[in-house]
Amino acid sequence: MSFLSLRVSSSCSAHRPLALLYSLQPHGGPLCRRSLATKHQPAAAATPAHAQDKKGQSSRGGKPAVHSKSFVQNMFRGLVEPEQTFPYPKVLNEDQLETLRMLVPPTEKFMEEVNDPLANDANESVSEEVVQGLREMGGFGLQVPEDLGGVGLTNTQYGRVTEIVGANDLGVGIFMGAHQSIGFKGILIAGDDAQKQKYLPRVATGEDFAAFALTEPASGSDASSIKTRAELSPDGKNYILNGSKIWISNGGIAEIFTVFAKTPVKDAETGTSTDKVTAFIVERKFGGVSHGAPEKKMGIKCSNTAEVYFENTPVPVENVLGGEGKGFKVAMQILNNGRFGMGAALSGTQRAVIKKAVEHATQRTQFGSRIDTYGAIQEKLARMAMTHYACESMAYMVSGTMDRGYDDYQLEAAISKIFASEAAWFVTDEAIQVLGGMGYMRDPGLEKVMRDLRIFRIFEGTNDILRLFVALTGIQYAGGHLKELQNAVKDPISNFGVVLGEVTKRGRTAIGFGAGNLLSDKVHANLSEPAGNVCKATEAFGGAIEKLLIKHGKNIINEQFLLKRIADASIDIYAMSCVLSRCSMSLNEGLSSAHHEELMTKTYCNEAYDRVLRNLNALKNPTELSNFKSMAEISKGMCESGQAVQGNPLGV
């Protein structure tokens, strides 16, 4: 993990959403449009991503609407697509479970007995003893294949290990994650065989550390504005790299960097050159690589964060990663692939924090009774538990989706990152409140957790930008299908299937009949009512999206007040589906915790459903819309004056 380019620079910029579309494109073209969902689809395990249906073309020409099994993508069309979400993924075979049984206890013991979070924080570094211990445990190459010196964990296994680290020390988690979750992840998922053979054994053993270098002083959320350049040398053997990167995690200790730079790319047909972003594997020993002093940060102090400079650094042409001009694609692959780990790590953080809060609540007596018997504390603990349950359910849902071979999980991963970073902040804040004055002190460790957590809503895509990403990507997917319908209506005979499907759906809605509870056979019978609410919420959500598309068209990109409410509603609906799926599994298997999980699931879903309806209502409520306009004016006034506009009420 690192302080990436996807951070909010200014909410006062009118053109920021347009820059967002270009900076967040996963494939270098328009944001991906996805597919039609139906109730009856084969099980996910039998339909890997590469076998997903890509058909659905209108005879009137134009690109067909792309089809997807993504739950969130289809939500934007008002359709429930259960394939990736129900049943809850069980992706580990017995050998993989046994590997975890061997890894989890010693990892927990090491983090609890050898690592000292408070000492790391005070010293602003990870002790050599801990670093060497992680090397010996294989902690720096958890997902590198075994034949290349790594442990070879799946995404789900990796998530379980990072959960342990997140429960103990988020600073160490960033140190490890900056190295493998994004530092050399590009080599792992986009490198050629020669690049993998050369670099992965070195980084897997911790012989060399890696870093991800994208962010620059002038490029925050708008990653397309990077200034670092790489020009091909006259002999054609090297790219000459010049520029600087800021806030790079592991920047001062890394020997291997994944660096993004502008390069002139010639069009084969026209012969004209255009600057495009290219990803490079850069070694410090190439020369011309230096770094600044470690940054002084609020939290995650033991992780090294520094500015990195490249001055006439020669990079062999064979070190281009993913192809010339394909840097955006590589960056998005890395970020999408790595975000699931944050959800797992922060689930571990929440579990550890909850334990401290419960221990205090059950041991603290005030006014003659233990404080856990008071309603105010009970509500806090319950909300902490429900939030953690949703976060954990979502994290392993995403990793399970990835491990089953689907590659269309970018929105689910983004939602998981948003939810986890905000959930961990909420749970830790409430835990400090439960502990009272003791929670504010250094020794319990919660104040350190709070400081460490603040960065998670900023890096690997700020939550503000990711909300726009979720909303705009989903809207564009829905818009692709709406356009397909518009084309199909022009020739209804040739496109009878497309037209009939839409007419049937719209006709049922018009006479007051929704699609019904399409999840009734996917969830445990005890959860039928909240499952029905997921279906109703999804249908209402899709209808709201269509109305916004018709009303605003392409200008929806500028309606950020509306886009935030859309994103928040989609996050709640996806969270509901994750807890319902997991709780159904627990009930079906008769787990001892099943009744407790059922209580949490029903309560969480009730409140989430209400939030969805409130957010959808805000999209059309005159008072809310008027308030949005007023807030824009308030912000404008502040930006023009450079401060709070009003003076002190005392006049002095």
Amino acid residing at 451: R
Task: Please tell me whether residue 243 adopts helix, strand or coil conformation.
Answer: strand
Task: Please tell me whether residue 54 adopts helix, strand or coil conformation.
Answer: coil
Dihedral over Cα of 529, 344, 258, 457: its sign: positive
Contact of 343 with 466, CB cutoff 8 Å: no
Cα 418-424-430 angle, rounded to 5 deg? 135
CA dist 457 → 31, 399, 420, 568 (Å):
23, 20, 9, 15
Q: Of 452, 191, 436, which Cα lies nearest the Cα of 330? A: 191
Instruction: Pick left, alpha or beta for residue 201 (phi over 0 → left; psi -120 to 50 → alpha; otherwise beta).
Output: alpha
Contact of 180 with 203, CB cutoff 8 Å: yes
Q: Give the whole-angstrom CA distance, residue 583 versus residue 592.
A: 12
* Given 283, 460, 546, 598, the catalytic residue: 460
Residue 23 burial by CB count (10 A; 0-12/13-18/19+): exposed, middle or buried? Answer: buried
Contact of 162 with 344, CB cutoff 8 Å: yes
Q: What is the DSSP string of 495-545?
A: THHHHHHHHHHHHHHHTT-----TTTTTS-GGGHHHHHHHHHHHHHHHHHH
Task: Please tell me whether residue 622 adopts helix, strand or coil conformation.
Answer: helix
Task: Please tell me whether residue 266 adopts helix, strand or coil conformation.
Answer: strand
Active-site residue, 460 included: yes
Q: Give the whole-angstrom CA distance, residue 643 versus residue 251.
A: 35
- The pair of structure tokens assigned to 211 is 């870093």
Residue positions annotated with a catalytic role: 460
